[in-house]
């Protein structure tokens, strides 16, 4: 019997990527192990992920599948050839995923361009449930084939359309939960995170024996870094946790989150994950609150800035 060959993976080069190229579909089951591993990597042990939830069963973290959608490129591209940076992430939350559910992941390259002598690619992706309902949509932008140490922390990225200042009202107590009467400038209760190497390695697929600037000291130094840096996607997970705590159940069905990555985070750094209410909008579905978000290190330097909105629970 002739054994079928595995398809040969392509080098992750800007020149090789084709606009319109499909990645997937890939099916996977959201197992108990997956949820527990994810909880460990981001230190998020919300009771809805281990017992009952307002949705009538045990669910996964809101952004549980976001990293899986990002990694769909590995179905066609050799992960050992990746040398680039994640610059922008946008997520739309439509429905929660239930533990034990079989999901389908799909992605497609929708744009590529050169700016400041760097090649950018844009990917759109989605996760659907076993019954076809849309769970999560993602749009991500990456720089391909750039030496990270030559870029990180040097403000070479395009400035965001709306600047996040990190300012908030000091005379107002931080809000733990979304309310329609929260005034602009109201801060929300922050999170404190300290990503450890074991957490970072599991998040960045050390179980599949991938060596990269997140899991391997030698490769990180060869890339011009002083040590491993965390995957930017981990900070997206921290922000999703902050927003889940703030909006509650409506975040899983109405949330929108957009982030720009502006400074690297080295393993072991202490991070504050913060947000501030910037406005409210009346929609047919109810009141939506708008927020500015950011993550800052112990020196007060922002590492991620972002924007979000979600419905207030009625």
CATH of residue 182: 3.10.129.10
- Is residue 236 a part of any domain in this protein? yes
- Is residue 277 a part of any domain in this protein? yes
- Is residue 52 a part of any domain in this protein? yes
pTM for the structure as a whole = 0.90
Question: Any idea which of 18-22, 95-99, 214-218, 263-267 has the lowest mean pLDDT?
Answer: 214-218
Co-location of 306 and 167 in the same domain: yes
Last residue of a domain, one of 118, 150, 182: 150
- Is residue 167 a part of any domain in this protein? yes
State the residue range of the domain holding 135.
1-150
Co-location of 236 and 279 in the same domain: yes
pLDDT at 113 over 60: yes
- Is residue 201 a part of any domain in this protein? no
- Is residue 274 a part of any domain in this protein? yes
Q: Residue 34 carries which DSSP code?
A: H
- CA dist 59 and 164 (Å) reads 32
- CA dist 233 and 306 (Å) reads 13
Q: What is the tens place of the pLDDT at every residue in 232-245?
A: 899 999 999 999 99
- CA dist 65 and 44 (Å) reads 15
How many domains, in total, are found in the chain? 2
- Is residue 220 a part of any domain in this protein? no
Co-location of 104 and 241 in the same domain: no
Co-location of 139 and 253 in the same domain: no
What beta strand segments (E) does the chain contain?
A: 22-29, 85-93, 102-115, 118-128, 134-144, 191-193, 256-261, 271-283, 286-297, 302-311
Q: What is the tens place of the pLDDT at every residue in 129-157?
A: 999 999 999 999 999 865 555 555 555 55
Last residue of a domain, one of 150, 177, 211: 150
Co-location of 132 and 46 in the same domain: yes
Co-location of 49 and 174 in the same domain: no
Residues whose CB falls within 8 Å of the CB of residue 75, separated by 6 or more in sequence, listed in order: 23, 24, 26
Report the pLDDT value the prediction gives residue 209, as an integer from 0 to 100.
63
- The alpha carbons of the chain give a radius of gyration, in whole angstroms, of 19
Co-location of 176 and 271 in the same domain: yes
- Is residue 215 a part of any domain in this protein? no
pLDDT at 98 over 80: yes
Co-location of 124 and 177 in the same domain: no
Co-location of 186 and 249 in the same domain: yes
Quick one: pLDDT band at residue 160, thresholds 50, 70, 90?
A: low
Last residue of a domain, one of 150, 184, 203: 150
Give the neighbor-by-neighbor strand order of the sheet with 102-115. Answer: 22-29, 102-115, 118-128, 134-144, 85-93, 256-261, 302-311, 286-297, 271-283, 191-193
pLDDT more than 90, % of the chain: 70
Residues whose CB falls within 8 Å of the CB of residue 208, separated by 6 or more in sequence, listed in order: none
Residue with tokens 């499909």: 22
């Amino acid at each position: 019997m002739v054994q079928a060959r595995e398809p040969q993976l392509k080098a992750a080069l800007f020149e090789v990527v084709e606009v319109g190229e499909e990645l997937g579909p890939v099916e996977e089951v959201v197992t108990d192990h997956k949820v527990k591993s994810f909880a460990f990597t981001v230190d998020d042990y919300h009771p809805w992920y281990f017992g009952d939830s307002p949705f009538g069963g045990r669910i996964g973290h809101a952004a549980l599948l976001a990293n899986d959608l990002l990694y769909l490129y590995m179905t066609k591209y050799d992960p050992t050839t990746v040398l680039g940076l994640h610059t922008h992430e946008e997520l739309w939350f439509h429905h929660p995923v239930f533990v034990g559910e079989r999901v389908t992941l799909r992605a497609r390259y929708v744009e590529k361009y050169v700016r400041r002598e760097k090649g950018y690619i844009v990917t759109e992706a989605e996760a659907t449930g076993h019954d076809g309902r849309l769970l999560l949509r993602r749009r991500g932008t990456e720089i391909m084939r750039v030496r990270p140490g030559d870029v990180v922390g040097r403000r070479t990225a395009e400035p965001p359309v709306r600047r996040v200042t990190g300012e908030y009202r000091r005379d107002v107590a931080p809000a733990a939960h979304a309310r329609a009467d929260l005034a602009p400038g109201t801060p929300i209760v922050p999170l404190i995170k300290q990503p450890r190497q074991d957490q970072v390695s599991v998040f960045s697929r050390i179980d599949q024996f991938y060596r990269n600037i997140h899991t391997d000291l030698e490769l990180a130094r060869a890339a011009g870094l002083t040590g491993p840096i965390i995957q930017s996607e981990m900070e997206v997970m921290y922000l999703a946790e902050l927003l889940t705590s703030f909006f509650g159940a409506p975040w899983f069905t109405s949330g929108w989150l957009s982030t720009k990555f502006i400074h690297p985070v080295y393993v072991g750094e202490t991070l504050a994950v913060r947000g501030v209410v910037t406005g409210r909008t009346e929609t047919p579905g109810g009141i939506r609150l708008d927020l500015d978000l950011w993550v800052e290190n112990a020196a007060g330097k922002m590492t991620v800035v972002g924007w979000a909105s979600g419905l207030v629970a009625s």
